[in-house]
Amino acid sequence: MEIQDYIAAGKIASTVRENARKKDHVGSTLSEICNSIEREIEQKGGKCAFPVNVSLNEIAAHYTAEPNDQKVVTESDLLKIDLGVQVNGYIADTAVTVCYDPNYDYLVQAAEAALREAISIIHVGTKSSDVGKIIENTTKQMGGIPIANLSGHSLERYTIHAGKSVPNIWSIGSFTFQATEAYACEPFVTTSDGSGFVREGKIRNIFSLATRKKTKDDYANRLLDFIWDKFNMLPFALRWLIPEWSEKDARSLLDKLIQYKVVRSYPILVEVNGQRVAQAEHTFIPQQNGVTVTTI
């Protein structure tokens, strides 16, 4: 594990996240927000570990801007900005929620408090079920409920979801945190009218390579090589294939690669009762008597 690369990625991610928190996004399109955050990551010497997620209101996660996405953030929106930075494949994954409707500020505060409380109990040997419990309790004390079927995760080089889940509710079965691994903790909080679960939506605009196996289609294989070369096995967006491919060609080739099961697509995740969802996220490495939060 290259701790220096995790730290370097985290430093860029936290600066970019704090700039995104301070900015007034009302009136901006989702394209403008994604493009400017991704440009800032690169200007600071990082690479994007995945397309910036800009999930509005009841969309909890996994929405990124389409090419020229003209959807505008309004004065009543709650926007989750989830960004990833990688340095030599070592990833910092972090998120902030900006909220322009004061009625929902408590959801943002609950997600932030749950994340803070969770991190305060983590060290080498902490049980993941205790983290789920403290996130659930903190969320409920603040008038929200946690999303049970979204969770944090262990990270590996070039792998965002490396197998272990860091739960947002108390749950049976757990692992203990190790100093040899990085993890992301990411409480998602909805209102008391929410179901506390997300379902898959129809939109799919985040993709990743599933395998490097070649197809029988030479033109599609050229896109395959391009994806591997640029993004490795990490997620990407259609807008990242342009201008090397025209939007039309990129869409049809991507559809082909999905049919061949060489590329997978990720659906947006939507709160089942249509309630708004807030999120906070940090990446950290456990230590003997505490934790190094790389994205602090």
**Residues tagged active-site:** 82, 93, 153, 161, 186, 281
**Binding range to Mn ion, per CB under 5 A, among 123-131, 213-221, 229-237, 278-286:** 278-286
DSSP tag of 103: G
170, two tokens: 């108390």
Q: Which range in 36-44, 189-197, 225-233, 277-285 contacts Mn ion by CB under 5 A?
A: 277-285
Minimum CB separation of residue 145 from Mn ion in Å reads 20
Give whichever of 160 and 224 is closer to Mn ion, judged by the CB atom: 160
Rounded to 10 deg, the angle between the 128-141 and 105-121 helix axes is 150
Q: Would you count residue 114 as binding Mn ion (CB under 5 A)?
A: no
Q: Helix 3-22 crosses helix 30-43 at what angle (to 10 degrees)?
A: 140
Specify the stretch interacting with Mn ion by CB under 5 A; choose among 15-23, 111-119, 184-192, 245-253. Answer: 184-192
Bond into 167 cis (ω within 30): no
Q: Is the dihedral of CA 69, 22, 132, 87 positive or negative?
A: positive
- 3-class DSSP assignment, residue 289: coil
Fill in the per-residue mask, 4 to 33: x = in contact with Mn ion (CB under 5 A), - = not in contact.
------------------------------
Strand 277-279 vs strand 188-190: parallel, antiparallel, or unpaired? antiparallel
- Give min distance, CB of 112 to Mn ion, in A: 15
Residue 93 binds Mn ion (CB under 5 A)? yes
Which residue has 């049976």 as its token pair? 172
> Of 77 and 82, which CB lies nearer to Mn ion in the complex structure?
82
User: Which tokens belong to 246?
Assistant: 């025209």
**Contact by Cβ (8 Å): 79, 97:** yes
Binding test (CB under 5 A) with Mn ion, winner from 20, 33, 131, 184: 184
Q: Which of 38, 58, 82, 112 binds Mn ion (CB under 5 A)?
A: 82
Q: Which is nearer to Mn ion, 58 or 281 (CB)?
A: 281
Contact positions vs Mn ion (CB under 5 A): 82, 93, 95, 184, 281
